[in-house]
């Protein structure tokens, strides 16, 4: 599975109701294409959101978003990196892709 980031901006800001409605529309589209939602981060002012997914490929995620009728700014493939606990200089190690 590929790690993917989705960036979205909102104007007006995202509301709890909009988030709930969007998730209800998106869930079946994700399941149909074998896409797994991992987590999301929202800006404190709710004008931006970044979501992390695992999917077979980027196009599967784009198709799910389009199928749910959801707008987004970008979808891109990501690599997960974390601090290397064995490197006192603060190096990093790739965990997954």
Q: Which domain holds residue 31?
A: 2-82
| Position 93 in a domain | no
Res 92: pLDDT: 67
Res 27: pLDDT: 98
Q: What's the Cα-to-Cα distance from 79 to each of 5, 19, 72, 82, rounded to whole Å?
A: 10, 26, 20, 10
| Position 40 in a domain | yes
| Position 88 in a domain | no
The model carries a pTM of 0.86
Find where tokens 């490197």 sit: 87
Q: Which of 32-36, 82-86, 88-92 is modeled with the greatest confidence?
A: 32-36
Residue 42: CB partners within 8 Å, gap ≥ 6? 14, 48, 49
User: CATH no. for residue 26?
Assistant: 3.30.70.3090
pLDDT tens for 15-71 read 999 999 999 999 999 999 999 999 999 999 999 999 999 999 999 999 999 999 999
| Position 96 in a domain | no
Q: Given a cut of 80, is residue 93 above it in pLDDT?
A: no
């Amino acid at each position: 599975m590929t790690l993917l980031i989705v960036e979205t901006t909102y104007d007006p800001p995202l509301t709890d109701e909009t988030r709930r409605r969007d998730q209800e529309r998106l869930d079946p589209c994700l399941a149909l294409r074998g896409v797994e939602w991992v987590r999301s981060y929202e800006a404190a002012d709710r004008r931006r959101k970044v979501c992390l997914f695992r999917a077979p490929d980027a196009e599967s995620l784009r198709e799910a978003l389009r199928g749910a009728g959801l707008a987004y700014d970008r979808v891109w493939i990501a690599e997960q990196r974390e601090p290397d606990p064995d490197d006192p200089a603060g190096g990093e190690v790739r965990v997954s892709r």
